[in-house]
Structure 1
Amino acid sequence: MIKAVIFDFDGTLADTLPICFHAFQAVFKEFDDIDITDGEIKAMFGPSETGIIKENLLNKNQDRAIELYYEKYTKNHRNLVPDNEEMNNLLLYLKRKGYKLAIVTGKARRSLNISLECLNMKEFFDVVITGDDVNKPKPHPEGINKALKQLNIENNEAIFLGDSDADILAGKAADIYTVGVHWLLNYQTQRFNVKPNTIFRSIKDCRQFIENRSQHNIFN
């Protein structure tokens, strides 16, 4: 029986990829004087934003670059990230039905908190695991395993939703039911190279799935 729903964040819970790209592009232009593409930024995903900058920026003023990232992320969030009433309604439905909710994301806690505040999502989640909370980012299962432990949930009592191959790999490594999502305008993986247990192409799909499987073993 499903007791918990665990979500990735960027491209899964919120259409935040455009603001991430914008902020990273501003940093690399300002400090390394290079124009970096969305695809090149996607290839860096895994570590938190802080980790990405520290691992990829050539300029030594990394602390200043990190602050510029958050400045751009905060200033332009409401312009570049649309509110999603349907998503918030799904989360509210799950909470009212008694499901435990969690986020496992590679984002830094600082940027995640900015997004949760802007999108009115702060109160939905019982557990939040960010890139700051793990030693090994996805596709390693460390974050999912931490979430399961903090939720006090067995891996066969939860599902994990994500929009990238790294999400699906992490879910499979944690032996959890994995859901690939292509329900927002922007997402990381156009075609999953690693097959999830199922794919949701609309937020409505998620609610129907939960309703249909809530009283049954999700692996059947």
Structure 2
Amino acid sequence: MKAIIFDFDGTLADTLPICFYAFQSVFKEFDDIEVTRDEIKSMFGPSETGIIQENLKNSNCDQAIDMYYQKYREKHEELVMTNEVLIDLLQTLKKQDYKLGIVTGKARKSLIISLDYLDMNELFDVIITGDDVSVPKPHPEGLNQAMALLNIKSDQALFIGDSDADIMAGKNANVRTVGVQWLPNFQTQDFSVQPDETVNHVEEFIELLEIERM
């Protein structure tokens, strides 16, 4: 195992609350509707830009997208807590010479905001966002891009995620998958496609890797 690739929202950071807040603000402001968290989850796949372009009835998409990022930034510190356990995990994996990556449907602009706030900027060897692919997860394009940039084969990587789309993307890329439910907010309670492993605590994941290394 040479590389560990992560989804971001709900996997590496408890950012779902800030995503919900920003989307709800936009749809209230521009379409005058209240959207639920489950309704927002059902839109996930494309980047935030794509979600707004595909779902907003109001024609002022550019203004709505600008408002999304404004809301995302202004409430980030209040709604997203730094998770020291996950930062320690990433730092430990780097010390163990794993290559680290992110493959997320999130737009690069919001990802950079979160990485800055959470002090995760210097931890990753490759980052593929929703802006970098033509087809979102569960299509394997993002994972295949990441593995090509890391110069590794599919059997040398793990993909860690919290949603059905993550697990299906991993399987479509022939990558071993780990479904995680270790943050307060995650996307999938019951995976419709079973990951190769499921863990509920970071400690379980560390134990899994230790077994791999033996």
**Length-normalised TM-score, structure 1:** 0.96
- What corresponds to 2:47 in structure 1? 48
Deviation at 1:199, TM superposition (A): 0.3
Query: How far off its partner does 1:134 sit?
Result: 0.2
**Counterpart AA for 1:203:** V
Q: Which residue of 2 aligns with 1:73?
A: 72
Q: Deviations over 1:29-80 (max 9, x none)?
A: 0000000000000000000000000000000110000010000000000100
TM-aligned CA deviation for residue 148 of structure 1: 0.4
- Where does residue 218 of structure 1 map in the other structure? none
Indicate the residue corresponding to 1:126 in structure 2. Answer: 125
SS in 2 for 1:98: coil
- The question of 1:14 aligning with 2:22 is answered no
Report the alpha carbon displacement of residue 204 of structure 1 after superposing the two structures with TM.
1.1
Three-state SS of the structure 2 residue aligned to 1:60 is coil
Return 5+ residue gaps in structure 2 as ranges: none
What is the correspondence of 1:105-184 to structure 2 with a 5 Å cutoff? 105-184=104-183
Q: Give distance in 2, aligned partners of 1:173 and 1:68.
A: 35
Residue in 2 that maps onto 1:206? 205
TM-score normalised per structure 2: 0.99
Question: Aligned letter for 2:33?
Answer: I
**SS of residue paired to 1:102:** strand
2:72 paired with 1:86: no
Cα distance in structure 1, aligned partners of 2:99 and 2:213: 13
In 2, the alpha carbon distance for the partners of 1:214 and 1:157 equals 12
Structure 1, unpaired ranges of 5+: 216-220
Q: Which residue of 2 aligns with 1:4?
A: 3
Q: Give the equivalent residue in structure 2 for 1:39.
A: 38
1:29 paired residue number: 28
Count of residue pairs brought into register by the alignment:
214
Specify the alignment match of 1:103 in structure 2.
102
- Name the SS for the 1:179 alignment partner: strand
Matches of 1:206 and 1:110, distance apart in 2: 29
Task: List structure 1 runs of 4+ shifted beyond 6 angstroms.
Answer: none
**Residue identity (%):** 61
Deviation at 1:214, TM superposition (A): 2.2
Partners of 2:204 and 2:2 in 1: CA distance = 18
**Residue deviations 1:160-216, cap 9 Å, x none?**
00000000000000000000001000000010010000101101111111121025x
In structure 1, how many angstroms separate the alpha carbons of the residues matched to 2:115 and 2:38?
25
Residue correspondence of structure 1 range 184-199 to structure 2 within 5 A: 184-199=183-198
One-letter code of the match for 1:181?
V
What CA distance in whole angstroms lies between the structure 2 residues aligned with 1:204 and 1:76?
Answer: 30
